Structures are given as C-alpha cells and as structure tokens.
Structure 1
Amino acid sequence: MVQANIVVVGAGVSGLTTAVELKKSHPSYDITIVSSHLPGDISPDFTSPFAGANWHSFATIEDKRLQTYDLEGYKRLVQLAETDPKSGIWANDSYCFYSQSAVEEMGNKKPDPWYKHKVENYQTIPPEQLLPGTAHGYRFKGVVITVPIYLNYLLQKALEMGIAIKRVSALKEIGSARQLHSSGKRADVVVNCTGLLAKNIKGYRDPNRQYPVLGQVLHVRNNARTEFAVDGVDPSRPDESLYIFPRKEGGSIIGGCHRENFDSTDEDKELTKRLIDRAIKYAPELIDRSFKNNPEFMDIITVGVGQRPFRDGGVRVEQDPDLHWLVHNYGAGAGGYQGSYGFSSEAVRLVRMAAESIHSKI
C-alpha cells in the first residue's frame, strides 16, 4: 500500500469528513489537518457551525453528479443516526410544503423531486393534511444534524485515528500548505477544503465565480413537532423561506434566508421577527406549554449569521489541472453537510490517484 503524507486544508465539515474517510480507506496515509478555525470557533468566515442542518437535496433533475454525491450523503447520515448516538444526528420525518404561489411559479406543476424513489418512506401528503396556506407537500425519512456535536464528533474521530490537527494562520498561497505537514516533511498531496476562503488563496486557478450567500438562523429552546420547510412562504421576499428543524437534544433551528448581496453580517432584527412570526403561524406548538413543556414565548439561544460558500457550477471536487499534488473539495454552497460523504468519497479517489502517480515517479 502506498504511503503518503497528506495535508487537508480546512476543518469544517468537508475537511474533517475528507480526512477521516481518507484515513479509513488508506491507513498508511499520514494525514495532517491544518486550519485557521477549528470546531468551537465562531466566525463569519467559518461556515460549518452556522448550518441548520438537515438533508434536502438541491440537485436538479439534470444534475446527476450532485445527485450521486447527495444520495451517498443521505445513506451515510441515516446510518449514523441509527447506529451511533454520539454523532448528534437524528432521523425523523421531513416534510416539504409549497405555497400556492410557489406552485404557480412552477407552472402549476407539483414538485416531483428526483429522490422520491431513493429515500426511505417517501409519500405525497394528502390535501387534508397540508399546512394552512400550502397547496402541495411530501414527506420522507430525513435527518437533522446538531452541528456543534457532529463537528466535534468528526474531530474526535480524526484524533482517535492518529490524524494530526494544526491551527495555522489563514493561507495566502496554496503551495505553502505542502510545508505544514506535522512530520516536517513536504506533503505529497494537499486537499483544498477551504470553503469560503478558497476565493482568497493564490497559487491555483478557478474559472468559476465564487461568492458568499448570507444565511440567518435562530437557535431556540422551543420544541417543534417535526422537521419541515415551506417554499414560497412570502412571495414579496423571494430570498426568504421558512424551515424548522427540531434537534435531538431539544430545541429547534428556525431559518432562514438566501442573500447574495449584503452589506453586513450582523443580525437582521426585522428578519428575526419575521422568522418568529412565520414559525408560530405554521408550528403553533412552539409556544404551547402542553407540548414538551414549551415556553409561551420564543426563547432564543442564539441568532446565527453566516456566509455559505457558493460557486458557479456547484461544488469543485477534482484534481487541479495544473498542480498534480492538489485536490479540490470546496464550493458546496448550502449543501455541505448533506453532500459531505459524496464529496469526500470522490476526493479520496482523487487523492489515491495523485499519491500513486507521485510515488510511481520516485
């Protein structure tokens, strides 16, 4: 088996998952994770801690590549929910609702997701069970991830497997990562999992635009009955939506928005108010004391405002065309958690090819 020194740049969900999956597949690899942020840090530049997070694929019918990534993510996350309580993942019913205006925008064609025959327990919701004001809906077995628990779960997995962790200053040039391996030797392969920061690093080319998209979520102590989202909740605000994810340990996540152009990463207090009003409208049990002893008001723990790392053309998982020692895994947008195992599986294959190619020339 080829031995290789690997540096994974980034300790968000993509970097941690890639490092762990690399070590599982190739125990002979000596892996070091380097990052300016680690689980537990809070910064607008460190996207992973701000996620909701659940599984709801954004792949279009035509995007077979992203479908493959997301489906692998679905299977692995459901498996973790059922077999490892330490992961902080909860399998439960996920409901997707569409307002009348959302259905009309789609030409009165009811949404027919590509994954309806791929996920567990999929079914269309009967009209009498739709939420008030919605015109269509479906449900399936989904997952909700408590991200602080899950990120630390991945970090602990990495440490248990002998993966080194190094906190470093944000990289300015990708080639410098080759000098950061914990052995002191030059890394054979570098995996670029830098997310939002990828657009600031020099030394490689990306022909596609990379850009941040702002999101805002509320973490509340109130418990919702089930996980659900409503598309087209306010036609006058197309960059806003409603989703509620009850977490395994109690409390819920309420979101959100999708703002490509923004001036600040501070809380939008008016958006917070709109999210609360929408949540109470569609999930009145949130302030019903008879349901899990909820408070009679929205008890907010934190308001999270973060920037999602979007990229035209979607996630970049490929060997760099100019640098044989560099593999990319960044630009997942809002799908970092749900696609993480699919992205990492491809990255593992590419790292193996790069390492074997390098050692064959020695």
Structure 2
Amino acid sequence: MVKIIVLGAGVVGLTTAIELKKWNPSLEITIAAHHFPGDFDPSYTSPWAGANWQSFATGMDSQLQKIDWPGYERFLRLAKNDPRAGVWVVDDTSYHTKYEVAAAKGNFQSFIPWYKDVVQGFKVIDEEKIPFGDISLGTTFKGVVITVPIYLSYLVQQNKELGNKFKKIPLIKDIREARGITGNPDYVINATGLGATKIQGVQDKKINFPVKGQTLLVKNNAKGTVSVSGFPGYTDEMLYVMPRRDGGSIIGGCFRPGDESTTEDKELTARLIRRATKYVPELVNPKFKNNSTKIEIDKVNVGFRPFREDGPRIEVDSKYKWLIHDYGAGAGGYQGSVGMGQKVVEVLKRELSQSKAKI
C-alpha cells in the first residue's frame, strides 16, 4: 500500500487529496496541516477568498489554461447536483473603463479572455446596453460563485467519506520532518501555499511572494458577479462583487505585493463601497431581496495570496524524489484547485509506473 502525506489543508491540498483517492482508492492518504477549515489566520489563505471561476491565464499561457479549465466544469456540476457544496451559477460580467481601454490603445481584443469559446453563454455586451458612461467594454458568461466556508467544509467531508485521514501538526521547519508525521510515507505532497518555500529543504528557482487582498463580506445581495477594472490612479485595485448562495455578497478588492500589513485600509473600504453602489446598484435597492439602502458590512477580510513567478509548481523535487510540489496558485486557488489536483495525479502515476519498472 502506498502511503501519502498531503501537507496543507487549504483548497488546493484538500482537493488534491480527493483527486488522488478517487484515482486510486487503495492509497493511504493523510492530510497534515497546522490550520484546517474553521481556523482564521493571515497565513492560511483559503478562508479569505471570494471565490469564483474567472481564469487569469493569458491567451498564450496554455499550462495555466489546462489547470483552470477542469474547475469550471466541476463547479458547474456541483452547482447543479450537490447543494451541500455551496456553489451556485450566476451571470459573470466584466467591465473595462475607458481609461483602461485607452491605455491599451483601444485594443479591445486584448480584453477578450481565452475561455470565450469554451464557457457557457459568453458574449460581448452591446455598447448601448452598458449603463455606465465611463465603461468602454463589457463581457459576460455563465459563471459560478463558491461560498468559501461551506465549500471548505464540504471538501473536508468528501475526504472523510473517501477514507482520507487528518492530522493537526505544528508548523514544520524542515521538509524532512514531514516523513515522520505518520511513519515514513512513500510520498509527501507539498501543498503549503504561502509557507511552501519557507520550509528548509524546499528550493525553488522562481520567486514566491504574498500578495495582499482586502474584501468586505456584506449583508447586501447582488444579482450576479460583476468586476470593473481600470480605475485611474489605483493600478493595484479593481472592483468585484460576488453574491453568495447563502445570502450577502463579497466586495473586493486589491492586489498589493509587498504589503504585509494585516490591518484594514479604511480608505480602500470607502472606495470599494462607492464603486459597488455605482456599478452594482441593486446592492442598495430595497426592491431587490429587501436590501438596505446602505452597504451593511459584516466583516472586513485581509488575507494574502500565495503567488509564484511563472505560476503553479507541480513537479517532483529535484533532490527529494519522495516530494511532489503542489503550490503557487496565486489568486486562482479555487478555480485552479481541481486542475492542480489532477496534475498531481499525473505526476504520481508517472512516478509509480517508473518505480515499478525499476523493480
């Protein structure tokens, strides 16, 4: 029997453990982590996310496209077939300001995503139907929103139902410590996100760095997901509004590499509220789901996304052949989690077949 430790219980680690067990039910899998769903810590990224599916891959980035695409199909299926997952289908609309389009020298094509021909219902919104004078381009498709606390709990339950085990551990300082968690496992999957390269013994030629994000969990409801990019003077900010299936919405956000402050930026909060009420007016319309006439904030979330130069790392370590890396999702942890897990399966399948060939 092949024994595996999945190190890390964020969305990537939990999903990878599920994909491995579904591929080979005989695997003995233990998810070992310092933080689990229900914990809130700035170093534990997954609880702070929005989250939805809207791939950040460029048209040339076929590797990230392959990682992101399986998530769209999975989330649509969960929304249709399993209400326990906390996923639902909503229209996903993206607006680009005149300022942003002008900066791109009017190249509208650069704002058309790679997935336009594969997602359901993608279209460019007719200009006369865009209700905002400062918007040059709008696109929309059939998207999904994931209610993070519900979905993380769902992943835990899925792992338990499949027979995977859980073990809470102190933060490990050296990657070799992972092999002592349950007695010399055959493989360790490094899905530790922000902490991936802070562990001694883990070498990466690419730069790994946290990127600060700030979101508002509000009681107000929206009809669908809306994002607006291209605010003059605020290159590290955009607006996104995601309505949750269980009520309320997430309003974000910002993209701030190098900012390690865990305190709320109150001026950003004020800007987010102004933008949200302008571009998603039903948020403050009592005629829509009895919304308040003001944005009612339940919680301000400040978290850090685990970015890696050149995107996710999913490969066998060059030094420790028992170590498989599975980190670097950046802001795409939820949408890329299924694809990352499936790629780990491919890596492990190749490793096991090679080891059998040597025997």
Fold shared, TM-score > 0.5 on shorter chain = yes
Moved over 4 A (4+): 358-362
What's the CA shift string for 1:193-223, capped at 9, x where partnerless? 0000112101121001110000000000100
RMSD of the TM alignment (CA)?
1.2
Q: Distance in 2 between matches of 1:294 and 1:280?
A: 12
TM-score (norm 1): 0.96
Q: 1:4 touches 1:355 (CA, 8 Å); kept in 2?
A: no
Name 2:161's counterpart in structure 1. Answer: 160
What's the CA shift string for 1:148-170, capped at 9, x where partnerless? 00000000110111111001011
> Counterpart of 1:219 in 2: which secondary structure?
strand
Match 1:320 to one of 317, 328, 331: 317
Structure 1 residue 353 displacement after superposition: 2.5
Name 1:305's counterpart in structure 2. Answer: 302
Q: 1:97 touches 1:131 (CA, 8 Å); kept in 2?
A: no
> Counterpart of 2:166 in 1: which secondary structure?
strand
Q: Distance in 1 between matches of 2:12 and 2:352?
A: 20
Q: Distance in 2 between matches of 1:6 and 1:352?
A: 13
Name 2:63's counterpart in structure 1. Answer: 65
What's the CA shift string for 1:23-53, capped at 9, x where partnerless? 0110000000000000010000000001000
Q: 2:196 touches 2:202 (CA, 8 Å); kept in 1?
A: no
Match 1:264 to one of 256, 261, 264: 261
Query: Partner letter of residue 145 of structure 1?
Result: I
Q: Distance in 2 between matches of 1:178 and 1:125?
A: 54
Q: Distance in 2 between matches of 1:21 and 1:334?
A: 21
1:28-39 superposed matches below 5 A = 28-39=26-37
Structure 1 residue 356 displacement after superposition: 4.0
Match 2:343 to one of 343, 346, 351: 346
Structure 1 residue 263 displacement after superposition: 4.3
> Counterpart of 1:75 in 2: which secondary structure?
helix
Structure 1 residue 261 displacement after superposition: 2.2
Q: 1:325 touches 1:354 (CA, 8 Å); kept in 2?
A: no
Q: 1:188 touches 1:355 (CA, 8 Å); kept in 2?
A: no
Match 1:4 to one of 2, 5, 8: 2
Name 1:291's counterpart in structure 2. Answer: 288
Q: Distance in 1 between matches of 2:4 and 2:355?
A: 12
TM-score (norm 2): 0.97
1:191-270 superposed matches below 5 A = 191-232=189-230, 234-270=231-267
Q: Distance in 1 between matches of 2:349 and 2:175?
A: 20
Q: Distance in 1 between matches of 2:92 and 2:74?
A: 17
Name 2:47's counterpart in structure 1. Answer: 49
Name 1:87's counterpart in structure 2. Answer: 85
In structure 2, do the counterparts of structure 1 residues 351 and 287 end up closer, same or farther at CA, with 3 Å as the change threshold? same
Name 1:76's counterpart in structure 2. Answer: 74
Q: 1:10 touches 1:34 (CA, 8 Å); kept in 2?
A: yes
1:138-149 superposed matches below 5 A = 138-149=139-150
Name 2:119's counterpart in structure 1. Answer: 119
Name 1:179's counterpart in structure 2. Answer: 180
Q: Distance in 2 between matches of 1:161 and 1:55?
A: 26
- Percent identity between matched residues is 48
Q: Distance in 1 between matches of 2:151 and 2:81?
A: 14
What's the CA shift string for 1:202-245, capped at 9, x where partnerless? 1121001110000000000100122110111x210100100000
Q: Number of residue pairs matched?
A: 356
Q: Distance in 1 between matches of 2:256 and 2:167?
A: 33
> Counterpart of 2:273 in 1: which secondary structure?
helix
Q: Distance in 2 between matches of 1:226 and 1:130?
A: 15
Query: Partner letter of residue 145 of structure 2?
Result: V
Structure 1 residue 113 displacement after superposition: 1.1
> Counterpart of 1:31 in 2: which secondary structure?
strand
Q: Distance in 2 between matches of 1:301 and 1:355?
A: 48
> Counterpart of 1:230 in 2: which secondary structure?
strand
Structure 1 residue 322 displacement after superposition: 2.0
Structure 1 residue 68 displacement after superposition: 0.9
Q: Distance in 1 between matches of 2:207 and 2:135?
A: 35
Structure 1 residue 317 displacement after superposition: 0.9
Query: Partner letter of residue 244 of structure 1?
Result: V
Unmatched tracts of structure 1, length 5 or more: none
